[in-house]
Structure 1
Amino acid sequence: MKVKVEIDCTPEEARTFFGLPDVQPLQAKILAEMERRMLAEMDRFSPEALLRSWMALAPQGPEQMQDAFSRLFQQSFGGGTKPPG
């Protein structure tokens, strides 16, 4: 035996019928707070800000670049040898 029941109601009516809480006001508050935080942090993650932060990590002059590479090679090869030059 098959029984088919079709109920035509809105989500709010179904939620009330089953006794579930209405979380729409809480959801609206949380989404508004998330939007506020995201907009406040947008400047930190702009392409210009990211590029500036990455460039600050890079050596500025040729001497600094050479020193950075020599330190890298010394650490990689475990040598106490000084690069030629």
Structure 2
Amino acid sequence: MKINVEVDCTPEEARRFMGLPDFSPVHEKYIGNILESMDNGINPEFMENLFKNWAPMGEAGVKMWRQMMENMGGPK
């Protein structure tokens, strides 16, 4: 026997129903910090720290991103 249940709800309603925490304020703060950094000009140290947190390969991934960003800067 196979039973299918279809639920029509928003992501917010699903989160509340499952009892998951609301990280909206954290998300808004994080996005605000990134937008502020972009308005003030992104420097290489900011990008390096950002990609260290996101890079799946650790330091090797950061080096790869750094080389890619340096190459995007055009001829020197």
- TM-score w.r.t. the length of structure 1 is 0.47
1:33 aligned to 2:33? yes
**Percent identity over paired residues:** 43
Alpha-carbon separation, structure 1, partners of 2:38 and 2:10: 32
Kindly name which structure, 1 or 2, has the bigger radius of gyration based on alpha carbons. Answer: 1
Alpha-carbon separation, structure 1, partners of 2:38 and 2:9: 36
Shift of 1:32: 0.7
Alpha-carbon separation, structure 1, partners of 2:8 and 2:41: 44
- Counterpart of 2:20, as a letter, is L
1:24 aligned to 2:24? yes
- Counterpart of 1:39, as a letter, is D
| Runs of 4+ with deviation above 3 angstroms | none
Alpha-carbon separation, structure 2, partners of 1:41 and 1:9: 40
User: What's the counterpart of residue 54 of structure 2?
Assistant: none
Q: Mapping of 1:1-80 within 5 angstroms?
A: 1-41=1-41
The unaligned stretches of length 5 or more in structure 1 are 55-85
- TM-score w.r.t. the length of structure 2 is 0.51
Alpha-carbon separation, structure 1, partners of 2:33 and 2:4: 44
Shift of 1:38: 1.5
Shift of 1:27: 0.6
Shift of 1:11: 0.8
